[in-house]
């Protein structure tokens, strides 16, 4: 069922009222934040008397508001869910990180203390009764509030949340809150943007969940937030799980067989210094129990679709349109765009231990600057399956995820098929994420005679910026 963003955009100015949902064609729209005004992330929390808190919200600090999702809303939500965020500029004209999160907390809690959660709660919470899940991260554009367009939409498919929203056993003991965080800073705008002198308000934010009307399954959903915006880097020994390389390693013990399971993770690369990690696209490898579950290089094919929202001149977009190759040479993300939710679908799994490991072996962190804020959550179902998720990890020794065929001739491995000239480079890696070979162009063949027995992956990068993977057993 289509959930039209256009209809949601038309309703963005609707005032927040006691009833949090409205009808839009075949969909229900649950508006939880409406033009909420955010303030300087580094300043002391503004007084409620100076900056009144919108009705129904809790201000946790200048950059974060929270609101409980009513049980009546959860009961109405269907199988297909979409998260929308609408950003409007006030007095911050730079690109900032922002997100939407859910917290699971003890039933009946009306307010929770975020003070022990780390800077802006990036470590989740010290309270074991509070579990935080990141469901949508985005980057604000460079915006001058005096220019149009002055409304930026972001959207994510969050249908994987539907089983959790209908788990009666979970909801008997747990309240679900939704949070909107925008980490704005007004200092540049104070002097560069007309009408912003002396002000510390930075952005207006709105957020809603758009739902189909029908929910088709019921059952128990296992939800385990494993980390929330953990700062990964290699220059602090506590910020990586494998010394000498960037790695995030988490283990979950599944106590009984599940009909479907996923890992949800959110990661983005930051560091605006010269040679910083914002500007160098690195290969990311994700393993589950030594399966090569995902390989990706962050960044869009082009940031040009988001140029329109960057109404303040800046050094990222420059003054003229750039080619796809130019964007792919330095852009890990686009100001004005979302960061993707990445999902590893495990399918039906047996009880046991499951290890998640993300490696970025080439990450350099020039000048000991930069960080990768990383969030990870495990979801499992005792019955049914998660809607709208197709990918499965390679579970055997011959699967591939590409447009060519992998062939063996004794100890020689090669690719065949139409369009091999689209391959711009290729890499051979092992299951530890180590790059064993890396060359431009098309691999004629790879001699595996001197390689140990084990599982390997050939990664090809195509001329359009996409990545294809081919797994085999040697």
Do 256 and 352 reside in the same domain of the chain?
yes
On whether residue 387 sits in a domain, the answer given is no
Do 95 and 182 fall within a single domain? yes
pLDDT in tens, 5-23: 433 433 333 333 344 667 7
Same domain for 285 and 415, yes or no, is no
Task: Using the predicted structure, report yes or no on whether residue 73 has a pLDDT greater than 80.
Answer: yes
Confidence of residue 98 (pLDDT cuts 50, 70, 90): very high
Of 352, 381, 410, the one marking the end of a domain is 381
Query: What pLDDT, on the 0 to 100 scale, is given for residue 397?
Result: 38
pLDDT band at 158 (very low <50, low <70, confident <90, very high): very high
Mean predicted confidence (pLDDT) in 265-277: 95
Position 155 scores a pLDDT of: 97
Same domain flag for 207 and 304:
yes
Q: Average pLDDT of 218-239? A: 93
Q: Is 162 part of a structural domain of the chain?
A: yes
Q: Identify whether residues 24 and 167 lie together within a single domain.
A: yes
Residue 70 pLDDT > 90, yes or no?
yes
My answer on whether 69 and 177 are in the same domain is: yes
Question: Based on the domain organization, do 317 and 466 belong to the same domain?
Answer: no
Asked if the structure places residue 83 within a domain, the reply is yes
- Environment class of residue 154 by beta-carbon count within 10 Å: exposed (0-12), middle (13-18) or buried (19+)? buried
Q: Distance (Å, rounded) from C-alpha 8 to C-alpha 85? A: 10
Rounded distance between C-alpha atoms, residue 186 and residue 188, angstroms: 6
Mean pLDDT of 138-167: 97
Based on the fold, state whether residues 320 and 412 are members of the same structural domain: no
pTM above 0.85, yes or no: yes
Q: Indicate whether 141 and 24 sit together in one domain.
A: yes
Identify the CATH number of the domain in which residue 56 sits: 2.60.120.230
Please report whether residue 435 resides in a domain: yes
Cα gap 94→334, rounded to integer Å: 12
- Mean pLDDT computed over 258-279: 95
Local confidence band at 160 (pLDDT 50, 70, 90 cut-offs) = very high
What residues pair up with 430 in beta bridges, in sequence order? 456
Domain that residue 429 falls in: 400-473
Task: Note the Cα 86 to chain centre separation in Å.
Answer: 17
- Give the HSE-up count for residue 296: Cα atoms under 13 Å, Cβ half-sphere: 20
**How many angstroms separate the CA atoms of 255 and 234, rounded?**
33
Structural domain tally of the chain?
A: 2
pLDDT in tens, 33-60: 999 999 999 999 999 999 999 999 999 9
3 state DSSP class of 389: coil
Residue 34 lies in a domain: yes
Q: Is residue 391 part of a domain?
A: no
Whether residue 344 is found in the same domain as residue 407: no
Residue 304: predicted pLDDT: 97
Which of 329, 351, 381 is where one domain is finished?
A: 381
Confidence class of residue 265 from pLDDT cuts 50, 70 and 90? Answer: very high
d(CA 233, CA 373) in angstroms, rounded, equals 9
- Boundary-marking domain end, from 322, 353, 381: 381
Same domain, yes or no: 229 and 275:
yes
Write the CATH number for 407. Answer: 2.60.40.3080
Same-domain status, 408 and 370 = no
pLDDT at 123 over 60: no
């Amino acid at each position: 069922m289509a959930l039209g963003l256009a209809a949601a955009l038309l309703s963005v100015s609707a005032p927040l009222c006691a009833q949090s949902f409205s009808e839009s064609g075949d969909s229900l729209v649950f508006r939880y934040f409406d033009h909420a005004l955010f303030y300087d992330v580094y300043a002391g929390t503004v007084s409620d008397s100076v900056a009144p808190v919108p009705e129904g919200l809790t201000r946790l600090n200048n950059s974060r508001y929270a609101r409980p999702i009513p049980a009546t809303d959860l009961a109405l939500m269907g199988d297909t869910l979409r998260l929308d965020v609408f950003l409007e500029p006030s007095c911050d004209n730079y690109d900032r990180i922002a997100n939407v999160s859910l917290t699971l907390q003890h039933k009946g809690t009306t307010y929770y203390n975020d003070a022990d959660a780390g800077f802006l709660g990036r470590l989740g919470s010290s309270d074991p009764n509070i579990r935080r899940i990141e469901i949508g991260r985005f980057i604000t554009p460079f915006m001058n509030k005096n220019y149009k367009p002055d409304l930026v939409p972001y959207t994510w498919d969050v249908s994987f949340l539907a089983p959790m929203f209908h788990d009666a056993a979970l909801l008997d003991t747990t309240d679900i809150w939704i949070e909107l965080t925008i980490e704005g800073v007004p200092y540049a705008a104070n002097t560069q943007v007309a009408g912003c002198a002396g002000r510390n308000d930075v952005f207006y934010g709105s957020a809603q969940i758009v739902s189909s009307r029908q929910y088709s399954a019921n059952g128990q959903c296992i939800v385990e937030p494993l980390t929330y915006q953990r700062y990964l880097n290699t220059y602090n020994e506590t910020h990586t799980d494998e010394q000498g390389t960037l790695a995030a390693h988490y283990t979950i013990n599944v106590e009984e067989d599940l009909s479907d399971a996923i890992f949800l993770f959110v990661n983005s690369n930051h560091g605006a210094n010269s040679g910083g990690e914002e500007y160098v696209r690195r290969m990311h490898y994700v393993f589950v129990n030594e399966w090569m579950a995902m390989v990706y290089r962050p960044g869009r094919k082009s940031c040009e679709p988001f140029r329109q929202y960057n109404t303040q001149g800046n050094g990222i977009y420059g003054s003229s349109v750039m080619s796809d190759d130019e964007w792919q040479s330095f852009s890990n993300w686009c100001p004005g765009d979302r960061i993707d939710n990445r999902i590893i679908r495990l399918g039906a799994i047996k009880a046991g231990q499951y290890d998640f490991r993300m490696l970025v072996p080439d990450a350099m962190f020039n000048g000991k600057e930069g960080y990768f804020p990383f969030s990870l959550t495990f979801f499992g179902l005792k019955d049914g399956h998660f809607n709208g998720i197709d990918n499965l990890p390679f579970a055997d020794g011959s699967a591939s995820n590409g447009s060519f065929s992998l062939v063996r001739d004794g100890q020689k491995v090669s690719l065949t098929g139409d369009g091999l000239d689209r391959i711009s480079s290729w890499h051979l890696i092992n299951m530890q994420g180590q790059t064993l070979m890396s060359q431009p162009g098309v691999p004629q063949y790879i001699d595996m005679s001197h390689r140990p027995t084990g599982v390997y992956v050939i990664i090809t990068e195509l001329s359009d910026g996409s990545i294809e993977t081919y797994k085999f057993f040697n």
